[in-house]
């Protein structure tokens, strides 16, 4: 029996040659048709993933945040970063509501939002953003900085100041602390952690000197800024970590090539953790988009846990 299955010479009716000669020969047209069907199916499933699935497939990234000289009361302090929600007509409000639910499940000590809170500074979306972000729950509240879209700007120096002011006013009215070249400190058991927020780097209100003016150089400090291009200009400040957004991880991040479009001057700043001169930059890929497309750049919520270095 085994020999029959193997097509031995003792069972001529079942030889491999006999079986293959009884099958229909593939024609060139048949092969082309199969390739075409395969290509169409692959393209459709790729499109469904890129336009339908990945843009709303939230990834939670847990990251240790080592800080030199971190006082003991802040060991294990958890800070959750959200960025670039782009509240507006493009990004579904239901999806952003789900992001907030996911973020609240992390139950952190502090939330920070690193800009591009709205797509354009329209009142209805300023209110919607403020209402939803004010439902974030953390022991030390929610801090935010503004990004270029909060300034209604697509290019260097093109922002509209009164629109940015209006976004900030709407957020503050709901209890969110908006840091515009300002610092706050969190006090725990006799120790302080300083958080500094800078206004958008593209505009003439980006003022590191003002922002850090009251931060003692020897105390732990984290800076919030929308654009990672600001990082090299913050190396001489007390901030040992700079948290940024803006790039959306490129939104489309091609294997072996990277993102074809990246709105930064320093093209190496795409997403994730970078180190320069002993200082740290983290770029969050954001939650929203300008156009609904993401590939290899999932929307992100980042949970940092502070540790002494």
240-277 exposure pattern, b = at least 16 Cβ within 10 A, e = fewer: bbbbbbbbbbbbbbeeeeebeebbbebeebbbeebeee
Q: How far is the CB of 251 from Fe ion (least distance, A)?
A: 10
Q: What is the DSSP letter of 293?
A: -
Question: Which residue's beta carbon is nearest to the bound Fe ion?
Answer: 116
Q: Are 118 and 126 a contacting pair, CB within 8 Å?
A: yes
Give the nearer residue to Fe ion in terms of CB position, either 84 or 229. Answer: 84
- Give me 47's structure tokens: 């499109």
- Give me 37's structure tokens: 């069907």
Rounded to whole angstroms, how far apart are CA atoms 202 and 206?
A: 8
Give the nearer residue to Fe ion in terms of CB position, either 85 or 238. Answer: 85
- Strands in 99-167 per DSSP E: 110-114, 142-145
**Could you identify the residue written with the tokens 């800078």?**
198
Q: Are 260 and 283 a contacting pair, CB within 8 Å?
A: no
Return the number of other C-beta atoms located less than 10 Å from residue 109's C-beta. Answer: 19
Q: How far is the CB of 40 from Fe ion (least distance, A)?
A: 33
Q: How far is the CB of 154 from Fe ion (least distance, A)?
A: 11
Give the nearer residue to Fe ion in terms of CB position, either 116 or 300. Answer: 116
Q: How far is the CB of 289 from Fe ion (least distance, A)?
A: 8
Q: How far is the CB of 115 from Fe ion (least distance, A)?
A: 7
- Strands in the chain per DSSP E: 59-67, 78-82, 110-114, 142-145, 177-178, 182-188, 191-197, 221-224, 241-244, 272-276, 279-283, 300-308
Rounded to whole angstroms, how far apart are CA atoms 228 and 116?
A: 13
Q: Which residues pair with 307 in a beta bridge?
A: 66
Give the nearer residue to Fe ion in terms of CB position, either 220 or 249. Answer: 249
The pattern of x and - marking residues 54 through 93 that bind Fe ion according to CB under 5 A reads ------------------------------x---------
> Could you give phi then psi for residue 152, rounded to 5 degrees?
55, 40
Give the nearer residue to Fe ion in terms of CB position, either 84 or 300. Answer: 84
Give the nearer residue to Fe ion in terms of CB position, either 118 or 221. Answer: 118
Q: How far is the CB of 219 from Fe ion (least distance, A)?
A: 31
Give the nearer residue to Fe ion in terms of CB position, either 59 or 213. Answer: 59
Q: Where in 100-129 is the site for Fe ion (CB under 5 A)?
A: 116
**How many amino acids of this chain bind Fe ion (CB under 5 A)?**
2
Q: How far is the CB of 290 from Fe ion (least distance, A)?
A: 7
Q: Where in 171-230 is the site for Fe ion (CB under 5 A)?
A: none
Q: How far is the CB of 222 from Fe ion (least distance, A)?
A: 20
Residues contacting residue 64 through CB under 8 Å, at least 6 positions apart: 304, 305, 307
Give the nearer residue to Fe ion in terms of CB position, either 143 or 283. Answer: 283
* Residues near Fe ion (CB under 5 A): 84, 116
């Amino acid at each position: 029996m085994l020999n029959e299955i193997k097509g031995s010479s003792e069972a001529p009716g079942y030889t491999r040659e006999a079986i293959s000669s009884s099958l229909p020969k593939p024609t060139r047209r048949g092969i082309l048709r199969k390739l075409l069907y395969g290509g169409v199916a692959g393209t459709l499933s790729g499109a469904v993933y890129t336009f339908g699935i990945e843009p709303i497939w939230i990834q939670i990234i847990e990251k240790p945040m080592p800080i030199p000289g971190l006082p003991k009361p802040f060991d294990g302090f958890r800070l959750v970063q959200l960025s670039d929600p782009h509240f507006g007509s493009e990004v579904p409000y239901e999806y952003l509501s789900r992001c907030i639910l996911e973020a609240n499940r992390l139950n952190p000590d502090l939330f920070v939002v690193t800009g591009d809170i709205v797509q354009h500074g329209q009142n209805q979306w300023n209110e919607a953003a403020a209402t939803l972000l004010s439902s974030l729950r953390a022991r030390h509240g929610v801090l935010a900085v503004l990004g270029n879209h909060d300034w209604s700007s697509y290019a260097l120096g093109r922002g509209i100041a009164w629109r940015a002011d209006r976004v900030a006013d709407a957020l503050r009215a709901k209890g969110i602390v908006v840091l515009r070249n300002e610092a706050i400190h969190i006090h725990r058991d006799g120790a302080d952690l300083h958080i500094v927020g800078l206004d958008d780097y593209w505009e003439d209100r980006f003022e590191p000197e003002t922002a850090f003016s009251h931060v003692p150089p020897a105390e732990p400090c984290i800076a919030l800024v929308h654009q990672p291009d600001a990082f090299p200009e913050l190396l001489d400040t007390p901030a040992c970590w700079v948290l940024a957004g803006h790039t959306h991880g490129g939104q489309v991040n091609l294997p072996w090539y990277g993102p074809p479009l990246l709105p930064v001057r320093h093209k190496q700043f795409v997403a994730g953790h970078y180190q320069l001169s002993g200082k740290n930059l983290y770029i969050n890929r954001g939650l929203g988009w300008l156009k609904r497309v993401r590939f290899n750049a999932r929307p992100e919520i980042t949970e940092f846990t502070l540790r002494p270095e």
